[in-house]
Each structure stands twice: as structure tokens, then as C-alpha cells.
Structure 1
Amino acid sequence: MADFSPLYYLYLKIVITFSRWSAYPFMRSLFQAPNSTRTLIQIPSRDPTRSIKAWIHHPPNHSGNTPGLLINWHGSGFILPSLGMDHEFCDRMAHEAGVVVRDADYRKAPEHPYPAAMEDVEDVLKWVEGQPERFDPSRIAVSGFSAGGNLALVAASELRAQFKRINIRAVYAFYPLVDLDRDPKLKKVPNPINPFPLFSLRLFATCYMPRAGERKNPRVSPTFADPALFPDRTIIITCSADNLSPEAEEMGEKLKAGGANVEVVQLENAPHGFDKGVKPGSDAFKQREMTYLKVAEDLRRP
């Protein structure tokens, strides 16, 4: 709250509370996972009075060799409590790639602006580093959707060198928000489908990083990260009808120009969140199957 005046914080709280209540009826079905065998765990945080929730998804027959690990962070605009909405992806990666998946929570703004979410990411990585008997430390990957894609890209670049006992060897970012410094008026695509309104884009940036002059910090906007910091494999999945896609595609070009091994997959006529709540046989279903399979195949690589 120190980043906001009391009156402005009250305004943000009212707006965000309304946004959360408005979003819930549309998001409620995404949290239902009747066929999942996931288990909810608590990961210690730097604050002894709180822990970080995470769903754990085990691969079948995981009692043999120490498995690899995928850590996932959900989308939220940095403001919506959405842990668990990626259960389809997490279950698929556990079963199809044979890795353990940790679907981790993080604190939300404006109650907890930057660096709160990033500290939770650090604490999860620290916990993983201390569990070599549970996971193969040479086979760690990170993934994320939307705001969670931002966190995954930061984890795989700026934070990666802090954790020398684990090898974050790949990152998979679905329709990530990568540039909070860019004027929302410039975030446009030719044929948008349900694009983020300017108000929402401004709200995300203001709540997450209230200090506008610090939004070029690569821990806030990973498009400004040094390409040399990224792991062996980076896959960024963008959607042509999503007004966040240009900045993610530009980030991919920056990484390529800097020598990073990056692949940008653009999905035609796909909106932000294309993979959620899809109907079998639809174009979105086919795109989801293709991209999820692509990530699973990459995770299986030696």
C-alpha cells in the first residue's frame, strides 16, 4: 500500500474487487478438474507467517527414476486469483511428458505490488533447489500464461543465475505480457478478438508496478532482459488476434538477434486465452492440441 496514496489505493481496491467478482462467473468452470489427480501443497515462503499454494500433478508410474520438473504460473493480469485454471495443461504435461508439474500461486496486486509476485517465484525456485531427491535438478523447465508467462520468462532469465544447483533449461510462455512500459494505446493488432481495453492494460501496469519509471526493469518487463541470460530453449506462443502479441513477437526477435535459441509460434485468428474452455473440434481446440503437444515433445527431449 505504500506505493499508493490511501485514497488511490481505496479506488484501486474497489475497481479490482469489482473486476474479480465480474470475472468469476466466466472463470468458474475453468477451475473444475474432475479428471485430475492433482494434490494441493504448501511451499514455504520467506515470510514464516505465510506459505505459497501449489497444485502438484504427478506423471503416471512416477515411483521410478527421479523425474524432471515443470513449474507453471497462471494468468491473472497480476490481479485475479486464478490458481488452478491451467489444470488441463498441467495434467497433460505430467502424463504426456512424464514430468512432475508444480502449478504455483503468487501474490496479486494491488494488495501486493511488485516485487511480491517475483519474490514468490524466487521462493518456489529456492524450494525446488532444496529438493534434489524429488526432482532431477538438470531437468527443470518453467511455463506460464499471460501474466504468468511474464513471470516464467523472468524466472528463466533474470532469476536463473541465482539458483546454480538447478538447470532451468527451457521456458514456455503462452500469450505473455512482456512490456509494461509500452503505452497501452500502441498495443494494437489488425483484427482483434476480445482485445484488452486500454483501461484494463493501464490497470494491470499500475497495480503491478506503480512506479512508471521502473517498468523497464527486466524483472518487470522481460522484453528488456539480456538474451544471454535465457536457457537453451525458449518457446513463445502468441495469438494474432491478441493485442499483447506484437510485444511478445518483438521480444522473440530481440532474443534471436541476441543469439538466444527461441521459437515464436503465432496462432492465426486466435484470441488471448485461446486454450481455455475450448470445444472439441473447434479451431481453438486444434490450436490447443498442437501447442500443448509441442511443449510436451520439447519437455521429453534429453
Structure 2
Amino acid sequence: MASRTRCDQVPYEVYKENKEAYSFPTAKVAGPRPEVASNIIYRVPVSHPAGEVDVQVYVPTSEAISSGGLASSEGRLPALINFHGGGFVIGDLNSDKPLVRQLCQGAGCVVVNADYRTAPEFPHPTPVLDSWDVLKWVFAKADELNIDASRIAHGTIPPFPPLKLQILIVPLVDVRYIPVEGSCKEGPYESYVSNEFAPMLPLSRLVWFYNYWLGTGPDRIEKAEDFRASPLLAKSHENLAPSSIRAAEVDPLVSEAKAYHEKLLVAGTQSKIKIYKGQGHTFPQWDGLNPGSKEFVQDCINDLKEAFKL
């Protein structure tokens, strides 16, 4: 596949004018997009600042529901709420389309895919607060969406009992040590150094993301130390939903994923971590060709079935 200029190698304004030209052609390596029973887009109100975001609700087919065996006696289904990646700068409802369709059909659960607002137009903390509003919306609309509110999982950090599971996919959990420019010269995370030039997510790409998301001004440190940006810094990690951390070996973020796993265990929160050998940061989207990515998708399906079982 021919090389191309990445989004982080040009100013955001240039990227925004022609996003496709600076984006990896994920569709060429992505896995199947199975048919679902429905995938309706809702406009959901958000608060910080006031506005609306798109939320796409995927419902599995009757065959998938029967095969999954997760429907309650009233016919209610468990739900996964998905928040796409992209450094809080890029990404949309299409980013995880193959994955969310496979999880919906593979586990036989509802998947709620959220298109939170992103930087630089909406820097921290808007993306996480949008996600929080979506999470609350799902609970409020559970009856209307035929969701069993006692069986909801999510793919992000903020706690909202009674969540059954958090699947953290190549997560960032401590953003204090990414510099405004250059290499990482301090901090506890070895992978920032050993994986500085990792394919798909070199350190320079993290710098680009964080500079738009957190800014480069005098309040950068304060924003980075906010637990909503760095969940590792939360005052308590007790009583959170059980965590399944899915990390990539060739990724600057793998060291902090390990640190977060240990933090959860010390706090008494259930956590497991799997580091996929030889894989880079974006490998979850490559399951059309990559055996490790296919394994990841099946692992997530197994996670959901185990968390949602009656």
C-alpha cells in the first residue's frame, strides 16, 4: 500500500479541507459489516456547551438475538455504548462501523455508537462531557430502546453504575507526559521512548492530537492533570465496572495501559489486560486481513457475552 501524508503531518485546517487524503484507507483492511435489524441515528442533546450529537443505535437480527441468548424474559437486550478513537480530534460514526456491527451481531446485543464533538472546535473537556451526556441518555431512554438498563457496558472511562463492563481499547489514561513538541524526555512510561516511531501512532501523532485537544497554553498542565483527561489520576478507582483492557505491543500507550490495569487491581476493581503481540495502535480496525485483529474482535464478543449473561 502506497505511503501517504498523515493528518498529523499537516495543520488541522489543511486536514479538514480534505480529510480522506490524510486518513488511512481503513476500509481496505477492515473486516465484514454484517447486516443488523436496524441502525437508527438519533440527535441527542448535550450540555457543555449546549448542542446536539449524533448517536447511532444498532439492533441485532432476531437470529443473532436467539444465538446470543442474552435477551431477558421481557425481551430486553443488554447494550454496549461505543466511543470511537481518534485522539479527540478525528473520527466519527463511520470510524468503528465494521466493529460495532460485528459486536452487535456476534454478541446479540444493542450497540450505541456515539459521535461526540471533537477538538479543535470542541477541546477538552467537551468530548468526555458529551460522552457522559450520551451515557445518561441511554439510561433515560432504555425503555424506548428496549435496553435492559441493568446490563450496560461501555468503551470509555467515566463510571455510571450499574455498568457491567468497560472495554478499554488501546486507551490513553495519563496525558501528562506528552510534550508540546519533540521527544518525550521525562515520565514513567517506557513505551513513549521505545515506541516513539511506531507505525500508525508515532509520538509525533500524539503530540499533534494533544496540542489541539488540550491546547499549548499556560493551562495545558492543569488540563492534563484533570482526571477527565487522565483517568489514572482519579481520586478513587474503587467500585468501577470490571475492566477489559485491550492493548497493542507496538504502541506508545501500552505502558500507561499496564499502569491503569495495576491501579484498578490495587483499588479492588476487577481488571484484565491483554497485549496483542506485534500489533500497532490501530490494529483493531484491520480484521479483514490481520489475524491478530480477528482475534481481538472475537475477544470483545466473548467479553460482552460473559458480562451480559443472564
TM-score calculated relative to the size of structure 2:
0.77
Alignment CA distance shift 1:41-1:268 (3 Å): same
Indicate if the aligned counterparts of 2:104 and 2:111 stay in contact, CA closer than 8 A.
yes
Following the alignment from structure 2 to structure 1, what is the Cα–Cα distance between the partners of residues 211 and 303?
32
Matched, 1:172 2:173: no
Partner of 2:47: 46
- Equivalent position of 1:140 in the other structure: 152
- Greater shift, 40-49 or 174-183, is seen at 40-49
Structure 2 matches for 1:85-124, cutoff 5 A? 85-124=95-134
CA distance in 2, matches of 1:142, 1:255: 16
1:252-291 equivalent positions in 2, closer than 5 A: 252-280=261-289, 282-291=290-299
Q: Which residue among 105, 113, 131 is the counterpart of 2:141?
A: 131
CA distance in 1, matches of 2:54, 2:227: 26
Q: Give secondary structure in 2 for the equivalent of 1:54.
A: strand
Q: Root-mean-square deviation (CA), in Å? A: 2.9
The amino acid across from 1:196 in the alignment is L
In the alignment, structure 1 residue 294 sits paired with structure 2 residue 299: no
1:192–1:240 Cα contact (<8 Å) kept: no
- Structure 1 residue aligned with 2:194, among 184, 189, 202? 189
Q: CA deviation at 1:78?
A: 1.0
- Percent of aligned pairs sharing the same letter: 23
Q: Distance in 2 between matches of 1:275 and 1:32?
A: 10
CA distance in 2, matches of 1:82, 1:141: 20
For structure 1, the 5+ residue unaligned runs are 1-10, 144-151, 161-165
| Residue type of the alignment partner of 1:277 | W
> Aligned AA for 1:268?
K
- The whole-number CA distance in structure 2 between the counterparts of 1:94 and 1:251 is 27
* Partners of 2:79 and 2:152 within 8 A in 1: yes
Mapped partners of 1:132, 1:287: distance in 2: 31
Contact 1:195/1:241 (8 A) holds in 2: no
Q: Contact 2:48/2:130 (CA < 8 Å) preserved in 1?
A: no
Distance 1:289 1:68, change over 3 A: closer
Indicate the larger mover: 35-44 or 201-210: 35-44
Which stretches in structure 2 are left out of the alignment for 5+ residues? 1-9, 66-70
SS of residue in 2 equivalent to 1:137: strand
Report the count of equivalent residues.
Answer: 273
2:207 counterpart (202, 210, 218):
202
* 8 Å contact kept, 1:227–1:254: yes
Q: Does 1:24 align with 2:23?
A: yes
Give the 3-state SS of the residue equivalent to 2:54 in structure 1. strand
Using CA pairs under 8 Å that are at least 6 residues apart, name the structure with larger relative contact order, 1 or 2. Answer: 2
* Pair 106,248 (structure 1): closer, same or farther in 2 beyond 3 Å: same
**SS, match of residue 285 in structure 2:** coil
> Which segment is superposed worse, 85-94 or 17-26?
17-26
Offset from partner CA, 1:81-134 (integer Å, 9 cap, x none): 332221222122222322211010111101110121122112212211212313
User: Is the CA contact (8 Å cut-off) linking 1:242 and 1:271 kept in structure 2?
Assistant: yes
